[in-house]
Amino acid sequence: MESIKVIISHRASASSTALITRILSCFASKTVYLSALEHDRITADTQAVTHAAFLSMGTAWHANAQFPWEVERYNAGGVENVKINIMMRIYSNKWHVYAGLAILNPAARDQIRAYAESVTELFKLMISHKTEEFRQRILKGREAVFGGRKREVLLRDDILDQYSLSARLPNGQRRPNSHLSLLAMVDCWWKLGIVPYEHMICETPLFRLWLGVVEYIYSDVTLLEECIRTAMEDDTFRMDDLEFTFAARGWSDAVSFGDFEGYRKRFEKVQTYFAPRVAEATRLGNEMIAKIFEKTREEGASNEDAKGDSSL
């Protein structure tokens, strides 16, 4: 996988930018030039909105007094492991890291608000049982974000099943889930005209995992249809989806109001609730990220070898 360095010339002279470019030229990596506004818009997607989704998951589980790894419907490995481990990883850090990225970036405020709106609108369709309208909206998002892409999915169950906080092994019977948080992300990207693959130049490990999880769901037509059917017909996750909707709107309000103190209180309340398992979750999260990135590097090397063979 090709490495990238990003240079942003903001309030800098042409000579200063040229100097920095020459200094960084010693790195064998591709150079990408961005404006400050482009950088803010991309990092709003790769960082702030990604964080907001996982913060909302933690808030929802806390509101329902759940440790999700102890709840049978989440003890199914795969995608659920990613959601739980990354949520815990975020809440293991300091609140101000995420508050600053969200509140001080105008593009982040707009995108987090759009994500909360997507969550709310999809949830309203779910409880109104407007199946066809819901399905068409999901499929339009799928076509806009993933249409025409041919690539191997980043995440696989045989990798993700290894990283569970549950003391019990997955029971082998995956519980269908609406995955509202994931469906809303694609809906948000579609509405904002964002193609997340174009933002990989400013990716973070969490964003790559987040995109991988979303891609995992949307690349499997059967699994995506299962999400739609579950959202319409199955109430198993309904209370979680309800609290997730409240949480997404709450985090959006805290960011929109520029409320650092409110943000801190919301964050630390949930952080305290999950504190007993933070150390273990951080370890598992680090191992999971390392394993997935190792797989990505191996696939990148294989693709390069294939290109070389085809040119002979």
What does the pLDDT read at residue 157?
53
Block means of pLDDT (10 residues each) for the chain, length 312 residues?
81 92 88 90 90 96 89 72 86 94 94 97 97 97 84 55 48 76 96 89 83 88 94 93 97 96 97 86 72 60 46 38
Residues 24 and 73 grouped into a single domain: no
Verify that 59 and 12 share a domain, yes or no: no
Are 112 and 200 contained in the same domain?
A: yes
Statement to judge: residues 29 and 40 lie in one domain: no
Q: Are residues 19 and 147 in the same domain?
A: no
Clarify whether residues 198 and 112 are in a common domain.
yes
User: Any bridge partners for residue 5, and if so which?
Assistant: 31
Same domain, 270 and 246: yes
For residue 169, the model assigns a pLDDT of 44
Contact 241, 123 (CB under 8 A): yes
- Do residues 292 and 159 touch, judged by C-beta distance below 8 A? yes
* Burial of 22 (C-beta count, 10 Å sphere; 0-12/13-18/19+): exposed
- Res 122: pLDDT: 98
At residue 165, what is the residue type? L
Same domain, 17 and 90: no
- How many domains does the chain contain in total? 2
Same domain, residue pair 167 and 205: yes
Q: What is the pLDDT of residue 168?
A: 47
Shared-domain flag, residues 94 and 44: yes
**Full domain range(s) for residue 193:** 36-310
- Examine the domain organization and report whether 25 and 64 are in the same domain: no
